[in-house]
């Protein structure tokens, strides 16, 4: 077993990984950017090393700096967490060259599943059902593909994830503009403007299967998670079991996921994502070759510590159980607690946390990365914590989550806690009647915001960060913001000014 592991990440996931490593008697090495010097993940580590300035491209995304820190610390292995370098095959390759073990899948599997069109082709060969689709290298090619598979269609970025670059097109006249927009966002987000087309499945559920494999060819699945509650194609609530999935359907999806994992020689933890149609048919969406944000709900119901299993597998140990030995009990739900304002289109709410008091009690888990006085930076994802609950059944889990949300206290920043409270009171959600379009259909009652075009989100978020920084420095309005930006930001900045005055 490893003596010391470096965690190539930050925030709540780095804290969560550190906890399991400490339980295993393994030393924890943290890395941090300049603004993260006082972060919780640094405080819980046994030792920590700086790797650069705030920008991820100069710190957390620098493989050379991560490897150098691991060598300096004498780390045996590196765990990437999720995001950042977790799905970059160059990291496991660099680890191998440096004589350091990568706690994750092989680079070959990452490459096989990293390109969505290539992954679709690979899964089709393995007998995994895929959504009808095809290439969209030009407007003419996109038009031809759309005519062949039929409207509505979904334009998607070939690289990356998080819903960036996705465009729903319902008729031929809208395809050219959507194609240009999807390519532009894909290029900006992932450095690759390649897009492709898929048939749009009307009102699908987003259901995923957790898989776990060792280096000896053994692969099991750990049941499903329903991740259909999303905003802009990004998950905000996840639960297991899926409210509408029968045991037979879960078994079918699990068998398909295991077959897909074996087809690419996969080991470690990974997730197969599917679209589930009303008629029970399901289609491969993508594979995430890493630990998922929502992994706690699977851990709740199965009793399996996925991080511990990843470490064991990386150390060369076989799976400790067979598929027949994997069981689950009860129901679990997770809410992602973000520093963002649902009433303003989920714009980020960076700032200093004045007070934070997570809920406690039976069946409650809070995977957090913050403490009173810590800063939610505008440079990184504004996830404050993952609040999850377990109960014997779904109804009790919902009641427990309501209680937990009511106990959760965060001041100094805006959060989406009020949104979650409204969601868990909504009769359709309580009844399990939802799909990926649920939030858009109920935004007036759940969110209370006006639509903000997806293309404006990053620009607005940057303007918010500049406005807040200038405001705190007493410099007035945001530099570089247009009059339109200023109008959009005025309520947010006024709220922030009021918070500063109270503080």
Catalytic residues, which ones? 290
Task: Compute the chain's Rg from CA coordinates.
Answer: 22
Neighbours of 99 (CB within 10 A): 9
d(CA 223, CA 462) in angstroms, rounded, equals 39
Q: Which of 337, 374, 351, 354 lies closest to 497, judged by CA?
A: 351
Q: How many Cα atoms sit within 13 Å of 106 on the Cβ side?
A: 15
Whether cis (ω within 30° of 0) applies to the bond prior to 334 is no
For residue 409 the two structure tokens come to 């206290």
- 499, 412 contact by CB (below 8 A): yes
CB contact set of 465 (below 8 Å; sequence gap of 6+): 348, 350, 378
- Residue 47 pairs in a beta bridge with 29
d(CA 368, CA 13) in angstroms, rounded, equals 8
Instruction: Give kind and range of the element (H or E) at residue 4.
Output: strand 4-7
For residue 402 the two structure tokens come to 């309501």
d(CA 274, CA 436) in angstroms, rounded, equals 12
Q: What residue has token string 């944000």?
A: 293
d(CA 41, CA 15) in angstroms, rounded, equals 5
d(CA 376, CA 350) in angstroms, rounded, equals 5
- Residue 271 pairs in a beta bridge with 210, 288
Angle at 429 between CA 427 and CA 432, to 5 degrees: 110
Q: Over the range 409-439, which residues count as b (16 or more CB within 10 Å of their CB) and which as e?
A: ebbbbbbbbbbbbbbbeeeebbeeebbbebb
d(CA 413, CA 404) in angstroms, rounded, equals 19
Euclidean distance between the first and the last CA atom of the chain, given in angstroms as a whole number: 48
Name the DSSP letter for residue 210: E
């Amino acid at each position: 077993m490893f003596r010391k592991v470096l965690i190539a990440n930050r925030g709540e996931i780095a804290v969560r990984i550190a906890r399991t490593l400490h339980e295993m008697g393994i030393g924890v090495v943290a890395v941090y950017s300049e603004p993260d010097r006082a972060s919780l993940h640094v405080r819980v580590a046994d030792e920590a090393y700086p790797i650069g300035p705030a920008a991820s491209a100069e710190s957390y995304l620098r493989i050379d700096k991560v490897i150098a820190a691991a060598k300096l610390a004498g780390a045996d292995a590196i765990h990437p967490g999720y995001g950042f370098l977790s799905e970059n095959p160059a990291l496991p390759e660099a680890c191998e060259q440096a004589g350091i073990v990568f706690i994750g899948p092989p680079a070959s599997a990452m490459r096989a599943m990293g390109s969505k069109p290539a992954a679709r082709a690979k899964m089709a060969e393995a007998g995994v059902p895929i959504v009808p689709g095809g290439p969209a290298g030009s407007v003419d090619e996109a038009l031809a593909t759309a005519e062949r598979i039929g409207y509505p269609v979904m334009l998607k970025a070939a690289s990356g994830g998080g819903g960036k670059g996705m465009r729903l097109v319902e008729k031929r006249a809208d395809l050219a503009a959507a194609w240009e927009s999807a390519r532009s966002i894909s290029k900006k987000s992932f450095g690759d403007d390649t897009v492709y087309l898929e048939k749009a499945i009307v009102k699908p559920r987003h259901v995923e299967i957790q898989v776990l494999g060792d280096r000896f060819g053994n692969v099991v699945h750990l049941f499903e998670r329903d991740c259909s509650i999303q905003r802009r194609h990004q998950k905000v609530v996840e639960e297991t079991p899926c409210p509408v999935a029968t045991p037979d359907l879960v078994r079918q999806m699990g068998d398909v996921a295991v077959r897909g994992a074996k087809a690419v020689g996969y080991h470690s933890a990974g997730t197969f994502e599917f679209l589930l149609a009303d008629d029970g048919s399901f289609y491969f969406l993508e594979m995430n070759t890493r630990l998922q944000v929502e992994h706690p709900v699977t851990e709740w119901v199965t009793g399996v510590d996925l991080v511990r299993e990843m470490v064991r597998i990386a150390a060369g140990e076989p799976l400790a159980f067979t598929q027949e030995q994997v069981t689950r009990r009860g129901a679990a739900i997770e809410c992602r607690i973000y520093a963002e304002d649902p009433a303003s289109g989920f714009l980020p709410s960076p700032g200093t946390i004045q007070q934070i008091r997570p809920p406690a009690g039976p069946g409650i888990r809070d995977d957090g990365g913050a403490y009173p006085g810590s800063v939610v930076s505008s440079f990184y994802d504004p996830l404050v914590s993952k609040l999850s609950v377990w109960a014997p059944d779904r109804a009790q889990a919902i009641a427990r989550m309501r209680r937990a949300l009511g106990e959760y206290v965060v001041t100094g920043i805006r959060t989406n806690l009020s949104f979650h409270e409204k969601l868990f009171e909504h009769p359709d959600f309580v009844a399990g009647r939802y799909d990926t379009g649920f939030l858009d259909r109920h935004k007036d009652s759940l969110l209370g915001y006006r639509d903000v075009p997806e293309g404006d989100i990053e620009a607005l978020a940057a303007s918010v960060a500049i406005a807040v920084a200038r405001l705190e420095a007493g410099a007035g309005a945001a530099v570089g913001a247009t009059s339109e930006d200023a109008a959009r930001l005025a309520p947010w900045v006024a709220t922030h000014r009021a918070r500063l005055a109270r503080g």
